[in-house]
Amino acid sequence: MDLGLKDRVYIVTGATRGLGNATAHALAADGAKVVITGRDEESAREAAAEVGPDAVGLAADNADPGAAQRLVDEARDRFGRLDGILISVGGPPPGFLADNTDDQWQTAFETVFLGAVRLARTTAAALGEGGVIGFVLSGSVHEPIPGLTISNGLRPGLAGFAKSLADELGPRGIRVVGVLPARIDTDRVRELDALSGDAEAARTAGEARIPLRRYGTPEEFGKTAAFLLSPAASYLTGLMVPVDGGSRRGF
């Protein structure tokens, strides 16, 4: 199946590892050009080099008010166009109500929420018909995850923002989608499993709750995200797609 990605240009934030990185690889494998970001210049460049010649790596902090416009300008200057963005922001610190400080909440809001809003707003202004804005969110959009109180507070709000954005941008032919990973085998998920004190036992218990009885791979997530960003998904907007092996029981 041809996804129609050849020579299209996407920004993928937080893509030096994990889900964003897997998506960048999937996009490039089908012929897209990719601007990859990470907080560290060297790691961003190394990640881009691994993706291939049609990728460029830039250091960018989503909390930086100037980062969004720099990324849009870089995509246009380097590749001559911009077709979409996948906003992947990483996870805020774990903890329960009594564990997380005001500073942690504020930092997470600036990076996870406001940074994503700013990236979406700036990209929307630069996109034409056929453009797409994607958000990497979490299964916590539908059901809170114990021990991730800050994430549980911010992710559903971003999903609501994405749904609103889909209504606003739809008349311009711009799509907005959310991708909701659950237990994908990334460094982040392994770190969360380790917080239990027995990472192996936590993983075994987690897999037992998944109908497919295993964690997903970053590559499986990346291929799903690449499809949603592609012209092949041209009539899909305003939806939240779980990539969770069947963990979500609702419709």
The rounded distance, in Å, linking the Cα atoms of 90 and 108 is 10
Other CB atoms within a 10 A radius of the CB of residue 195 amount to 11
pLDDT tens profile 104-137: 999 999 989 999 999 999 999 999 999 999 999 9
Contact 61, 111 (CB under 8 A): yes
Q: Decide: pTM greater than 0.85.
A: yes
* DSSP codes, 32-101: -EEEEEESSHHHHHHHHHHH-TTEEEEE--TT-TTHHHHHHHHHHHHHS---EEEE----PPPB-TTT--
pLDDT tens profile 188-236: 888 888 888 888 998 998 899 999 999 999 999 999 999 999 999 999 9
Nearest 5°: phi and psi at 91? Answer: -105, 140
The rounded distance, in Å, linking the Cα atoms of 75 and 34 is 8
